[in-house]
Amino acid sequence: MVSAANRARNPARSSVWLEDKAARPASSRKAEQPEGLDRDRIVATAVRLLDAEGLPKLSMRRIATELNVTAMSLYWYVDTKDDILELAVDAVFGELPLTDPDDGQDWRVHLRRLAADYREVLVRHPWVSTILNTYLNIGPHSIAFAEAVQKIIRTTGLPVSVRTGATAAVFQFAYGFGTMEGNFSRRCAASGLTVDEYYEEAMEAFTENPRTSEQIDELKDVIGAHAGRTVAQVWDADFAFALDLMIAGIEAMVTRYATES
């Protein structure tokens, strides 16, 4: 097993994908190990619990209870809860429907689609953004996502020196947007209200409060522009427009570098 102390001393080398932690084959299963239990099932259960109950409530004991096995049974497949979380993040990245950037479609189509899919994954699994940068994220699905992003950015025509900046602009934006949207949705669900019900109650409270009513009055034109639309529709429209702005920026920079060369 890898101790917590060793992980702390060597964070750049601490990963379930770098250490010798290949899933043990079923043929080596000890007699006392439960039938049907494997790493994939453990990770799938962890993802389901994280979605339903959140990160603070996840424990080895909680996963074992859900699987109807002993907590010690899990340690045949993973060393720590960190292993499970790292594996769970990669499993979530496996939900991204990656397409081939070389299929003849314009890079703008691919970039919009992948950024939107990334946002949706973060909204669907709000806990992911909380721990995403805790791990190296070098699992097979995470690497496939990173490679797809780089292939798309490469076809934009941007010089190599600025491609990471373009990647950051698009996907850190999608990360932030998806994180905020996911957290808000979770807050609404915890209150027992839909997103639209929560928004309406919040707006009513802000309007009635003397300390915030003036700020609401200053935003009447913005609020009016969204009248008749659901919160989800507003989010979708804002995300699409912001993405268009970044794509336009990439196009402008491609032209600028082409002119300067």
CA distance 174 to 238: 11
- What tokens appear for 53 in the block? 């109950």
Domains and CATH numbers, the chain: 4-93 (1.10.10.60), 107-192+229-260 (1.10.357.10)
* 192 close to 201: Cβ distance less than 8 angstroms: no
| Total count of residues recorded for the chain | 261
Check residue 13 and give its pLDDT.
62
* 89 close to 128: Cβ distance less than 8 angstroms: yes
Check residue 237 and give its pLDDT.
96
Given a cut of 50, the residues of the chain with pLDDT beneath it are 1
Q: For 183-201, what is each residue's pLDDT tens digit?
A: 999 999 999 999 999 999 9
* 46 close to 91: Cβ distance less than 8 angstroms: no
pTM score, whole prediction: 0.88
C-alpha torsion angle, residues 84, 141, 182, 40 (rounded to 10)? -40
* 4 close to 80: Cβ distance less than 8 angstroms: yes
CA distance 197 to 187: 12
CA atoms within 13 A on the CB side of 170: 29
Check residue 30 and give its pLDDT.
56
Check residue 1 and give its pLDDT.
44
* 72 close to 207: Cβ distance less than 8 angstroms: no
Residue 235 CB contacts under 8 Å (≥ 6 apart), including other chains: 177, 181
- What tokens appear for 70 in the block? 């002993």
Check residue 121 and give its pLDDT.
97
* 125 close to 222: Cβ distance less than 8 angstroms: no
CA distance 177 to 235: 9
CA distance 30 to 73: 10
Phi-psi region of 248 (alpha: psi -120 to 50; beta: other; left: phi over 0): alpha
Check residue 18 and give its pLDDT.
85
Q: For 7-17, what is each residue's pLDDT tens digit?
A: 556 666 678 99
